[in-house]
């Protein structure tokens, strides 16, 4: 049973300015984007096509989260003090 009847995939438009949308009907693989990006010719991580194979241990996830937060901190607007103007 399909819960979603319409998928919109925004490829770049021919003129490079606007957006081009295509209505996709039943049977379209929902993991299409992941399959394309993980392919040998792009990111070469074919073992990550299936998201269920990408699980990490809770300790590894916590470590990765800490590293990401530290790197992302300069861009995190939620950490700014109220009334602070840049």
| Rounded average pLDDT over 31-53 | 87
Across the chain, how many H-helices and E-strands are there? 2, 2
Residue 1 has pLDDT above 50, yes or no: no
- pLDDT tens digits, residue range 14-36? 666 666 566 777 887 888 888 88
Considering Cα of 42, then 25, then 29, then 56, what sign does the dihedral take?
A: positive
pLDDT score at 84: 58
Give the total residue count for the chain: 86
**Model confidence band, residue 3 (pLDDT cutoffs 50, 70, 90):** very low
Rounded Cα gap, residues 77 and 19, in angstroms = 29
Q: Element (H or E) spanning 24, and its range?
A: strand 23-24
């Amino acid at each position: 049973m399909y819960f979603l009847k319409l998928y919109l995939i925004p490829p770049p438009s021919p003129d490079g300015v606007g957006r081009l949308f295509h209505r996709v009907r039943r049977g379209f693989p929902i993991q299409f984007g992941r399959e394309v990006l993980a392919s040998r010719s792009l990111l070469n991580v074919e073992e990550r096509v299936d998201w269920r194979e990408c699980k990490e241990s809770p300790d590894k996830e916590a470590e990765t989260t800490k590293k990401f937060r530290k790197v992302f901190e300069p861009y995190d607007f939620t950490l700014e003090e109220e009334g602070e103007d840049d």
